[in-house]
Structure 1
Amino acid sequence: MAPSTNALPQGRDESAPFGRMLTAMVTPMAADGTIDYDGAARLAAYLVDEQRNDGLVISGTTGESPTTSDEEDDRLLRTVLEAVGDRATIVAGVGTNHTEHTLRLARQAEQAGAHGLLVVTPYYNKPPQEGLARHFATVADATGLPVMLYDIPGRTGTAIAPETLLRLAGHPRIVAVKEAKGDLFGASRLMTETDLAFYSGDDALNLPWLSVGAVGFVSVVGHVVGADLREMIDAFLGGDVRRATEIHRRLVPVITAIMTRTQGVIATKAALSLLGLPGGTVRPPLVDATPEFTAALREDLIAGGVKIVEGP
């Protein structure tokens, strides 16, 4: 399979194949649970133009992909590409626990114009490492798009073993890993032995990941503090570790509020409502944030320096 002709934004740093600051974007929804496509376009523009994201992940877990249809995923991806695809890398989440379904989603994303694919470890059925290797390689063979593997055993039940990642690193289109299991040393070994680019997939560990060589973040809190995280990246890579640490510590209340008290998408949509931005409701079996949760979230966001939209 030849590399895809889907045009990436100009000026991409080759060491960070999907950009450095990416947010796993929520899927804005109306009160009746239908997708708010206009809101998605506005949110994407906000994340890129005001929160300094140079990449977005669409239809990931934070985008509620378990409850969206293939048709909705396609329209959402096209909407975001039209809104910001000329100035940000748009990565389509296509991972499922059924290889054939994942292949269909990967091809659909390529046809829509995606710049890359995020492929999560198959969940629930817990395939052996040989099954993982075959699954990922088959998906990477199916399109010309670069692939970021998503290793999050806390959700999937199965980690990608270092030996499997070492094997997959030889595939020309498997170029990156979103790491959300906290194995900084294991990743350090793989960075030494391969050309895989590692992205922090755990906002609590963003700064530690930079310290061992990660090229950037795929963030959830980037919805509200993306510009701060980009400043952290720039400061660290520019040698100003003190400044990067200051930002890390200032954002602790925000990360605590969004990432530790309920599912990230629930907290993020509540945070977006406090900022007057599109987010809306969540789909069952998730439930919307309670007023009590939102009130506590508001205080934590303010403590982290986030400007809240005050009511009339």
Structure 2
Amino acid sequence: MSLGPFGRTNAAMVTPFTADGRLDPAAAQELAVRLVDHGGCDGLVLNGTTGESPTTTDAEKEALVRAVVEAVGDRARITAGVGTSDTRHTVELSRAAERAGAHGLLVVTPYYSRPPQDAVADHFRTVADAVGIPVMLYDIPARTGTRIETETMLALAEHPRIAGVKDCGYDLLHSAKVISRTPLAFYAGAEELHLPLRAVGGVGYVSTVANVAGARLRAVWDAYDAGGTAEAARLQGRALPLCELMMCSGLPGTVTAKALLGALGLPSGPVRAPLRCADSAETDRLLRAYRELADGD
């Protein structure tokens, strides 16, 4: 079965570091193999928010892509996060990721400067014009301060290399309108909206929780796609406590994912400042929720 430009069940993969905070490419390869071979993932998104892109260098980003492509690029789609608030820098990162072997690019809306919609569209087109691989737009207005409006997405869908959207807009009406009027592949970027977005035509997800519970999340989509809507809803409900604790408890998803991975003896390492590692009490709560999900039926 073709994985399409970005796969279907993506982990927003953490970036493993050594104990002293250096990039650990070997650990990244180990984690990538586990996520693809045993974690229900047919795609990995690197250098995103969960991958601590604000605190990794351009050279580290490229090295991570090269390492993961080498490990699993023959059996999973590798999408590289390249978005910045600077169009020129984003183009540089995009070309570097393409050279490193990435199959696709994740490009976030320019943040902080809050450009108007025509400038947002020009930013995305400039990046897509600079490369030969597909681009996934990343719509997350709560972080960037600017959303990609419906009309802007409709216009961008005409570009031959703008192929998908990571949807963190929390607006199903907007998403359904764009899905119904364009060929853009929509990926849920918020765990609680995996199933609702699938129901209106979404094709996949990009999930932080998939770092530790990818097979459980994939089971929701597999059930839905097999016609078992009630079973999909049941499985989604079972996963929600862990999703809520990891993503909505006051700690960033990067912190909770690395805490759980470390507690399970899997590659992760510390987070980089200004983030702080979870304390023992927080990690224990996460581990209990993980075990309750893992031990269920």
Distance 2:98 2:16 in 1: 23
Other-structure match for 2:117: 129
Backbone CA RMSD of aligned residues: 1.1
Checking the alignment, whether the CA contact within 8 Å between 1:21 and 1:218 is kept in structure 2 is yes
Aligned length: 295
Residue 248 (structure 1) aligned to one of 236, 240, 248: 236
1:217 counterpart letter in structure 2: Y
Identify unmatched segments of 5+ residues in structure 2: none
Q: 1:256 offset after TM fit, Å?
A: 1.2
Distance 2:168 2:49 in 1: 13
Q: How does 1:152-301 map to 2 (within 5 A)?
A: 152-261=140-249, 262-301=251-290
Q: Is residue 102–residue 139 contact of structure 1 (8 Å, CA) maintained in 2?
A: yes
Partners of 1:159 and 1:100 in 2: CA distance: 20
Distance, in Å, in 1 between the alignment partners of 2:202 and 2:90 is 27
Provide the residue aligned with 2:78 in structure 1. 90
Q: Secondary structure at 2:148's aligned position in 1?
A: coil
Question: Residue 5 of structure 1 corresponds to which residue in structure 2?
Answer: none
- Tell me what 1:80 maps to: 68
Give yes or no for the alignment of 1:56 onto 2:56. no
**Contact 1:253/1:303, CA 8 A, preserved across alignment:** no
Which 4+ runs in 1 deviate beyond 3 A? none
Following TM superposition, by how much is the alpha carbon of 1:303 offset from its aligned partner in structure 2, in angstroms? Answer: 2.0
Identity among equivalent pairs (%) = 52
Taking structure 2 as the reference length, what is the TM-score of the superposition? 0.97
Q: Residue 87 of structure 2 is aligned with which of 99, 123, 129?
A: 99
Q: CA deviation at 1:306?
A: 6.0
**Distance in 2, Cα, partners of 1:80 & 1:306:** 30
Instruction: Give the letter for the 1:275 counterpart.
Output: L
Partner of 1:28: 16
Partner SS state of residue 251, structure 1: helix
Whether the aligned pair in 2 keeps the contact of 1:225 and 1:306 (CA below 8 Å) is no
1:56–1:88 contact (8 Å) kept in structure 2: yes
In the alignment, residue 263 of structure 2 is paired with which amino acid?
A: L
